[in-house]
Amino acid sequence: MNAIALLEVQALVAAIAGLDAMVKAADVKLIHVEKRLGGRLVTVVVRGEVSAVTAALQAGAAAAAEVGNVKVCEVIANPHPDVMRFLTTG
């Protein structure tokens, strides 16, 4: 099953640390980055199998929490195609 994981953190450095941990922890691919407030609030979105995005999100949230403030983390299994169109960059 396909899924996405969203990790929203306060501070760009925390987002980078979280994303690094996510892609190293499991077979996931970055599909979207959203920066708000000049990079003070950053959301990264990865996709992959449900188990992979869940493991990646846990690792990413833990790594991001060490250097910043984690606001939201969420896994969405089998997202609707309209959600994917909204998130996919490139």
Q: Determine the pLDDT at residue 38.
A: 74
Listed in sequence order, the DSSP H helices in the chain are 12-25, 50-67, 81-87
Rounded distance between C-alpha atoms, residue 90 and residue 75, angstroms: 22
Q: Determine the pLDDT at residue 87.
A: 81
Rounded distance between C-alpha atoms, residue 71 and residue 9, angstroms: 5
Crossing angle, helix 12-25 and helix 50-67, to 10 degrees? 140
Rounded distance between C-alpha atoms, residue 36 and residue 77, angstroms: 25
pLDDT digits (tens, 9 = 90+) for 3-15: 999 999 999 999 9
